[in-house]
Structures are given as C-alpha cells and as structure tokens.
Amino acid sequence: MNAATKPSRLRDTHVTLSHGGGGRAMRDLIEEVFTDVFRPEGDEDQARLTDAALATPGARLAFTTDSFVVTPLEFPGGDIGKLAVCGTVNDLAVGGARPLWLSAAFIIEEGTEIALLRRIVASMVREAEAAGVRIVTGDTKVVGRGSGDGVFITTSGVGVIPAGRDLGAAQIRDGDVALVNGVLGDHGATILAARGDLALSTPLESDCQSLTHLMEAVLAAAPGTHAARDATRGGLASTLNEMAEAAGVTVELDEAALPLRTEVKGLCEILGLDPLYLANEGTLVLFVPEAEAEAALAAMRATPAGRDATIVGRAGPRGSVPVTMRTAFGGQRIVDMLVGEQLPRIC
Amino acid sequence: MRYVEEFRDPTQARALLKAIGRSAEALGASRAAPIRIMEICGGHTHSIFRYGLDKLVHEGIEFIHGPGCPVCVLPRSRVDEAVTLAERPGVIFTTFGDAMRVPGTSRSLLQAKAQGADVRTVYSPLDALELARRHPDREVIFFGLGFETTTPSTALSVQQAAAEGLTNFCVFVNHITVPPPLKALLDDPHMLLDGFVGPGHVSMVIGTHPYDFIARDYGKPLVVAGFEPLDLLQSVLMVLEQIREGRAEIENQYARVVPEHGNPVSLAAIEAVYEPRPSFEWRGLGEIDASGLRMREAFRAFDAEARFQVGYGAPQGRAQVPDPEGCACGQVMTGRMKPTACPQFGRGCTPDTPLGALMVSSEGACAAYWTYGGARVAAE
C-alpha cells in the first residue's frame, strides 16, 4: 500500500515514552515516521546488500560512523538530519570511497514534536538521494525528558574504494598545494547566530552539503591527489594540524587567500573568535601535487559544491611548527590546534 | 568588511612602519636601549601578535604588555570565590566565556560545571537577567567582570532588576578601573616605561581626561588607540613623535569612536549603581586602593558577596591565596618579565594546562605569545 494513502494510526503530536516501549505505539512511530519514508528493502531487521563495485578485484570496503548533536535542531541551510547524512557521506567521500549505504540510529527525547521528526527524516532522504546513497537500516530509542537534547542521530556508512586509489594524510608531500572547495566557517557561524542568544540576525546559511560528486570530479581530473579531509569540528586550522602531523610536513597558509564571507568575519570580530576554528559541514581541504593543482581547482569549480574553490596554502618540509600562516602584512604566525572550545571574550 | 578592512591595509601599514622606523632612529632607539611602550589593553596585545606587529616595527621599539585583560588580573582567590558561589545549591551561575577555564586553587568554573554546578555562558548580563525571570525559584548570579567597557551593562541590568522587583538576581562584582593600576605601575621605581597606548573601548565610556595625571604628574605620553593594526601603528608613531618633540600629552587616535568626555549615559549608570571599594586585589599587583567597584548601599541586595557572605562580604574576611608555585604571572603582568622568560612558559604552563590566567584568556600576553608563535617561530 502506498504510504501516502495509508490511513495514519499515529495520533500523537509529541513523542512519549510509550513510543519506545516496544508495543503498538512504537511500531506506529517507526513505520509512519521512518520506514515508510526510508523504504528499506525486505522485512528483516538487517540490510542484505550487494553491489557490483565490491566484486572488482582490488576494491576495498570503507566503513565509518559518526554521531550528531546540534542545537538548534533546525538551522538556516539545514537540520540535524541533513547533517547526519552529509557528515558520514563526506567521511567516506574524502577517503576516496564511493558512498553506498547508510544506517541511521535515533535517540529521541520524550516530548519531541513528531512533525519535527518527519521534517528531519524528509531532509535525510532528500540529502541521501542527492549524494547517491541509500539509508538501509536504522533504530530508534526514546529517552525521558531531560536525558537528551531533542534528537541525537548516529549514522554509519559503507562505501567502496576503487582499486588503485589510496588517499591519506600520510601521502602528503613537501610542495603539495592545499585547496579548499569554498568559504570557511559558515556552518559554525550560522549555528552560533541561530542559537538566538547573540541577538544578531545574519543572512548566513550552513554550508552543510555532501561532497561525493565533487570528490569524484576532483579524482577524475587530478588522479594524483594525495589527501582530502572535511574540515568539520575544530575548523580548517585543526584539520590541517592533524594532516600535517600525520604526514610529517609543515603547511603554510596564505591569509590573503582564505575565502571568508564578510558576515562570518563580522561575527568573529564581534565575538573574538577565529574563523579558522569554526566548524564546516561541507568544506574539505585537498592536497594535490603542484602539477595537478590547476586541474583539481578547475574540476572543483565546475561542481556546485566547489564554485568558490581556491588555493589556500602549500606543504613544506618537516619543521617544529606544523601549521603557520603568512599574514596579509607579511608577518608569520602559528596556526595552532584549538584548545578546548572557542569561548567568546568579554570585551 | 567595511569600516574594518580600511584599518588593515598593508600599504598604509608599510608607510606607518617606515615613519616609526625614522622616528625610532632619530631617538637613537636600539634593541639594547629600546623605547618601551606599554599597550595597556589585552585586546591590543592580541592585535599586536595577530598581525605580527611586534616583529614588523623597528627593533628599537619594545612592547610591554599591560594589566588590561580583566580575566588575567583576577587573582586566584576570586576564581575560588566564584566557584564557591557557583556550587551553592539552587544557584545558576552565569559568566562570559573567557572566565570559564581560568584555574582556581582546586578547579575552574568549567570543572565545577562538569562536577554538577549549574554554570552557563552568557553573552550579556541581560541574558542572566532573562534567566532570572524564567527561573524565579533559582538564584541567578552574574560574574561581573571587566573594566569600564562592561561596567555600564551590568549597572543597567541591576537597575532593570530593581525596577522589575526581581529578587533572585545578583552580581558577583569584579569590575575594575584602568587608571589606578597605571598609577601603581608608575609609582614602581623598577618600571621603565617611555609611554602608553591606551584602550580605546574604555575611553569610549570614560573619555580621555582620567589619564591626564599620567602626562601631568609623571611626564609620560599616552595615546588612546583603536584596535586595528593601523590604529596601533599610528598610535605608536604618535607616542614617538611626542617623545621626540619633548611633549607629554594625552592624545586621542581613536577619535572616530572616542569622545573627549566619554559617554554620559554610561557614566551616569555606573555612578548610580557603583562606588569605589576601599581596595581590590589584582593578580601580580596585590591590593590597589580604590581600583575596584562595589554596589552602592541602595543596590546592596543585588551584590552576591553581600548576599551570600563570600569574598569581601565574608564576615571573617577573605582568604589569601598565593599564585601557584613557579607562576610568574605577576611579573609578566607588570611588564618586568617577558612571557617566554617565565620558567613555566611552554613547560608547566600551556593553553591545555594553564597555571595562570595569562595563558587562558585569548587576551593574555602568554596565550598571545603561545598562540601566535612569538616564541616558537622565533626559536626555529
């Protein structure tokens, strides 16, 4: 029977503990809000999967998992559902894998609006389709009021890395060019502004987007690409530090080349934050041999997720400070790992 | 970003750097015998390092980092008192983010929070006021920190609470004023300063006249400065020009923001709610007369120290808490030691495991040295 025409048995407007109790209420919630929309195949409590790519000699399976918590659950440019799909898809994509399947587990706080759950699920399906993955299995649990923050989502993802592809931070070499696909800090700045306690209104939107198609385009144009990472928590600064340390190289950023929106710069000025440490959810950094840098740049710019792609720096020989920045004034400063979390200053 | 980018223009910066160089040469300044200029404000310290100005100016100019970071000058005993207040049952303790990680004797507010205290970061005392309205059954305490820049906003929130008859809101007052510690520094015979760059945001409230004594009584120039790199460079040049011409005046480089007589509305709010304390303890400087503020009698009900009998409100007096062993924050704060000369810098004291507030606050001199690599890039 078509989900749209099936009479609804779910009468509640908000999730109660009985929706986690294993009975009729739980079945109704899972069917109407989740499985009717995700439409996993088969009736068993497991996904049974095949894909031709897996049968190719030399192909490898990529498997990753990530949990998502965000306040507010819906924000300009996305919601926790979109985030949960993009985050895991991107973890696969930046490793050179073609994402295939996702699982999605929900921890739902008692009192959560069912309409909100429906919106989150709809946005997950939309994003999964755009990224070319299927959500094939899942789970829900309900916790009492005060034991959660609305909705927590954990997604795990499986993808296939084609034979011969081996991206990794350890492959980065002295002389590699560092590129990003777009502006930095939009997600972090959007979330800060959307929490409402700054009394700032900005036209900012989260950069939350999946990077599958962009990565495929880059790897086709620049097959010698050494490494890619999505610059999520801790921002570009923390991601570069991790990569530089893993590779045993240094990275010098060019301050004047960093793509930043005026609104993000303004918000950071007011709060005393550094946009290099703001989270991104659809921004990656690539290390490419110099000979392929222009090809990678052009390939990125030809995709919707890479329109603002640009070269931001370069890898250098091993040194005592992993990441530095050439300032617009010609000075040089360290770009360190983030300590704790960024805390807004007093004045 | 309009109205900011203009003040970061590298071409103009190079012109100013050249002029500073000429002035420094004319004064015979050298690395061995430098002109010492104290930037009072932590925001200035931060800008100097963020833009690498300390490396770009003539080698005969030495920046001495002053006591103008409100979190950094907070002695450990005040953090302990804040933790004590935060851990009272029924209390919601609200604070600016900077103060969360400052170590107390046994724990910071962040650690107290992890252990069960209800500590929340707010962006304004008005957020704390709103929490008090929403939680009439809880005591909401605001950690009132800062110089004249933040004092008006807590004064206004206390006036608002009084007008609404809110009885569950109070402020742990640590507001301090800029001129008294400068006087204390100038009275110190070991202090060898040639001039000052003054905090623009403070003067936006108090104007420029509270600094008159520095020129009049001590013969030192002070230039009130903005926070962008060009503001700072121009201010340094103005200080040098005064020295060259044998002048000692209070000048205003930040006239686009700072009126000579300050902001009368803010000053009236401070005056209505606060009065000077007989003395207040500063990290590294000890007790300084009339350097801190407390609530006037009429607003004493909103004073957390009076209400809960802690700190200066404790009947048995305040506990004396020495700085941690080997911590030289006091000497760094008074410009007698460079952060990198502290034996703990980068060893026992890093931003991950700070011993003192100078390493915690983004405006602390040690954190600035560490973050922007004054020490580590130079060491390469």
What pLDDT digit, counting tens, does each position of B120-142 carry?
Answer: 999 889 999 999 999 999 999 99
pLDDT exceeds cutoff 50 at B377: no
Structural domain contains residue A271: yes
Structural domain contains residue A4: no
Contact predicate B236/B22, CB 8 Å: no
The answer to whether the Cβ–Cβ distance between A320 and B376 falls below 8 Å is: yes
Highest mean pLDDT, choosing among A11-15, A18-22, A28-32, B81-85: B81-85
More confident residue, B372 or A34: A34
Q: Which of chain B's residues have a Cβ under 8 Å away from the Cβ of A262?
A: 1
Q: Which amino acid is at B174?
A: N
Structural domain contains residue A341: no
What does residue B267 show for φ and ψ, rounded to 5 degrees?
A: -65, -40
* Beta-carbon contacts of residue B157 (< 8 Å; ≥ 6 apart): B125, B126, B128, B129, B142, B169, B171
**Domain B76-176+292-313 in the same topology as domain B5-69+179-252:** yes
More confident residue, B367 or A282: A282
* A320 and A175 share one domain: yes
Domain of residue A95 covers 17-41+58-161
Q: Which ranges in A157-314 belong to alpha helices (H)?
A: 186-194, 212-221, 235-247, 262-271, 290-301
The region that residue A78 occupies, defined by phi over 0 for left and psi between -120 and 50 for alpha, beta otherwise, is left
* A154 and A175 share one domain: no
- The confidence score (pLDDT) of residue B378 equals 41
List the single range of A47-56, A334-343, B39-48, B198-207 with lowest mean pLDDT: A334-343
- Residue A343: pLDDT band with limits 50, 70, 90: low
Q: Widest CA span of chain A, in angstroms?
A: 68
Give the pTM. 0.82
Q: How far apart are CA A210 and CA A283, in angstroms?
A: 9
* A117 and A179 share one domain: no
Number of domains in chain A: 2
Structural domain contains residue A290: yes
* A133 and A222 share one domain: no
- The confidence score (pLDDT) of residue A156 equals 98
Q: Give the end of a domain, one of A122, A143, A161.
A: A161
Highest mean pLDDT, choosing among A30-39, A322-331, B230-239: B230-239
Q: Give the end of a domain, one of A161, A190, A205.
A: A161
- The confidence score (pLDDT) of residue A267 equals 85
- The confidence score (pLDDT) of residue A55 equals 86
The residue ranges of every structural domain in chain B are 5-69+179-252, 76-176+292-313, 329-372
Q: Which ranges in chain A belong to alpha helices (H)?
A: 24-29, 36-38, 80-93, 114-131, 186-194, 212-221, 235-247, 262-271, 290-301
- Residue B335: pLDDT band with limits 50, 70, 90: confident
- The mean per-residue pLDDT over the stretch B36-59 comes to 90
The domain that holds A66 is classified in CATH as 3.30.1330.10
pLDDT exceeds cutoff 80 at B112: yes
- The confidence score (pLDDT) of residue B379 equals 41
More confident residue, B372 or B65: B65
Q: How far apart are CA B19 and CA B194, in angstroms?
A: 18
Structural domain contains residue A176: yes
- Residue A22: pLDDT band with limits 50, 70, 90: confident
Structural domain contains residue A314: yes
The answer to whether the Cβ–Cβ distance between B55 and A345 falls below 8 Å is: no
Structural domain contains residue A8: no
Interface of A with B in 62-91 (CB under 8 A): none
Q: What is the CATH number of domain B5-69+179-252?
A: 3.40.50.11750
Structural domain contains residue A73: yes
Which neighbouring-strand residues pair with B118?
Answer: B92
Closest alpha carbon within chain A to B10:
A329
Contact predicate B218/B37, CB 8 Å: no
Give the tens place of pLDDT for each residue, B188-235: 887 789 999 999 999 999 999 999 999 999 999 999 999 999 999 999
Q: Give the end of a domain, one of A132, A161, A190.
A: A161
The answer to whether the Cβ–Cβ distance between B122 and A327 falls below 8 Å is: no
- The mean per-residue pLDDT over the stretch A240-257 comes to 96
Q: Which of chain A's residues have a Cβ under 8 Å away from the Cβ of B377?
A: 321, 324, 332-334
- The confidence score (pLDDT) of residue B210 equals 96
Query: Which DSSP symbol is given to A53?
Result: G
A270 CB near a chain B CB, below 8 Å? no
* A93 and A174 share one domain: no
Paired sense of beta strands A323-326 and A332-334, if any: antiparallel
Cβ burial, residue A186 (10 Å; 0-12/13-18/19+) = buried
Q: How far apart are CA A186 and CA A202, in angstroms?
A: 11
A265 CB near a chain B CB, below 8 Å? yes
List the single range of B88-97, B106-115, B311-320 with lowest mean pLDDT: B311-320
Give the tens place of pLDDT for each residue, A163-183: 999 999 999 999 999 999 999
Q: Which amino acid is at B64?
A: I
Indicate the CATH number of B76-176+292-313 among 3.40.50.11740, 3.40.50.720, 3.40.228.10, 3.40.50.880: 3.40.50.11740
Nearest C-alpha of chain A: how many angstroms from B247? 31
Omega before B278 within 30 of 0, i.e. cis: no
List the single range of A50-59, A290-299, A334-343, B225-234 with lowest mean pLDDT: A334-343
Nearest C-alpha of chain A: how many angstroms from B179? 18
* A141 and A92 share one domain: yes
The answer to whether the Cβ–Cβ distance between B49 and A333 falls below 8 Å is: yes
Establish how many alpha carbons lie within 13 A of residue A44's alpha carbon, considering only the half-sphere containing its beta carbon.
Answer: 4
